[in-house]
Amino acid sequence: MTYLLHILIFIGIYIILSISLNLLAGYTGILSIGHAAFYGIGAYVAALMALKLNSPFLLNIFLAIIASAIIGALVGIPSLRIKDDYFIIATFAFQIIVFSILNNLVSFTGGPMGLPGIPQPVILGIKISSHISFSILITILCAFTFYVSNKIVKSPFGRILKAIREDEIFAQSLGKNISAYKVKIFMISAGLAAIAGVMYATYITYIDPTSFTVMESIFIISIVIIGGAGNLWGSVLGAIVLVMLPEALRFIGLPNAVAANIRQMLYGGLLVAFMLWRPQGFIGEYTFNRNNEK
């Protein structure tokens, strides 16, 4: 039972991450390889606040969202000038910069040794420490993320995001402030990703820079692509499939080193297969492979 709850908690974390990236990549058409950086920023802000200031969980998660959203705005501004492949390279550079800061600012972030002993959440006097309580909390946060994102994509704001995705020049010709919309969705996406970071840090009670690398960003992108870009339920489905898939390897009895390599091969093979034969994913409404669109 504990093992299943552990898996459900991680599924919840990746549901939040994939939904937040889907708003940016699936609904706005802006692909980022730096999403794990926002994930890490949220985790580190909450962890440092708890460890150094002993501040309450609700304040920590609020400040993590704000900090990540502000940095998201700073990353979103370059998207006003550079596009497509060049912007992807820029987000890749941002990911590397954040990782380097977390890894080298030893006196503040702990560097490669990380931050151990992160306090677990206490909400309204109730300590969230058991797997059941964590699974309930992550379910509530997943529902919150889905609800907020669903409201966004079904609002006039969301329709403008889709217009930017389909034809940015046409959307601009209608008098829409494309720059403002891009920066705002970057802030929202980054802020939601920070929620997942806070939950990861307080659940594991230890973080280090290796949890927030480029490979983590690519994994989140894989969830969005395989589940379905431009569809929030696709993010949910993709997270369930890609988190559960490697767990099946545990029952085969493979050594951990071999299982890790096979897991990466499975992820890579699935990603290539979907991009070739079903670029819209399981239930997606948008494809990054524009030549395959109908």
> CB of 207 within 8 A of CB of 109?
no
Q: Per residue in 245-255, pLDDT tens?
A: 877 766 676 66
The predicted pLDDT at position 80 comes to: 72
Q: Is the pLDDT of residue 267 over 80?
A: no
Work out the percent of the chain whose per-residue pLDDT is above 70.
94
What does pLDDT average to over the chain? 89
Q: Per residue in 3-29, pLDDT tens?
A: 899 999 999 999 999 999 999 999 998
> What's the whole-number mean pLDDT along residues 252-264?
68
| Range among 83-92, 253-262, 281-290 rated most confident | 83-92
The predicted pLDDT at position 145 comes to: 97
Min mean pLDDT across 34-38, 71-75, 149-153 is at 71-75
**Neighbouring residues of 275: CB distance < 8 A, sequence distance ≥ 6:** 225, 288, 289
Q: What single letter denotes the amino acid at residue 81?
A: R
The predicted pLDDT at position 291 comes to: 47
Rounded Cα distance, 208 and 48, in Å: 12
Ramachandran bin of 208, using left for φ above 0, alpha for ψ from -120 to 50, beta for the remaining angles: beta
The predicted pLDDT at position 247 comes to: 75
| pLDDT confidence tier of residue 256, bands split at 50, 70 and 90 | low
> What's the whole-number mean pLDDT along residues 37-48?
97
- Could you tell me which residue, 290 or 119, shows the higher pLDDT? 119
Domain boundaries, the chain: 2-213
Q: Per residue in 51-87, pLDDT tens?
A: 999 999 999 999 999 999 999 998 888 767 777 778 8
3-state secondary structure (DSSP) of residue 207:
strand
| Residue ranges in the chain assigned as alpha helix (H) | 2-25, 35-48, 57-76, 84-104, 106-109, 131-153, 156-166, 168-173, 178-204, 214-227, 232-250, 256-277
